[in-house]
Amino acid sequence: MKKIPNIDIHTALIGYKKYEVAELLGITEFTFSRWLRKELKPEQKLMILDAIKKMSLGETFYE
């Protein structure tokens, strides 16, 4: 069985739209989807998971 890359991010995205996270990161939804196709560097994962966490807290921008 093939391993799903970035399964932790896919799991964290449940209940959120990819375009919402992409907007917080300052990238397009297309770019965000492309990023998720291959395993990300730990720094990128942290940045994305931080954006998802900020969304859960009601913040609408990424710093």
Query: Which of 35, 39, 16, 37 minimizes the C-alpha distance to 27?
Result: 35
Query: Which of 55, 43, 58, 47 minimizes the C-alpha distance to 13?
Result: 55
Q: Is residue 19 part of a domain?
A: yes
How confident is the model over 2-58, as pLDDT tens digits?
Answer: 788 999 999 999 999 999 999 999 999 999 999 999 999 999 999 999 999 998 888
Q: Is residue 2 part of a domain?
A: no
Query: Is the CB of residue 6 less than 8 Å from the CB of residue 39?
Result: yes
The whole domain housing 50 covers 7-56
Q: Rounded to whole angstroms, how far apart are CA atoms 40 and 27?
A: 16
* Half-sphere exposure (Cβ direction) of 42: Cα atoms closer than 13 Å: 0
Q: Is residue 48 part of a domain?
A: yes
Q: Is residue 63 part of a domain?
A: no
Give the total number of structural domains in the chain: 1
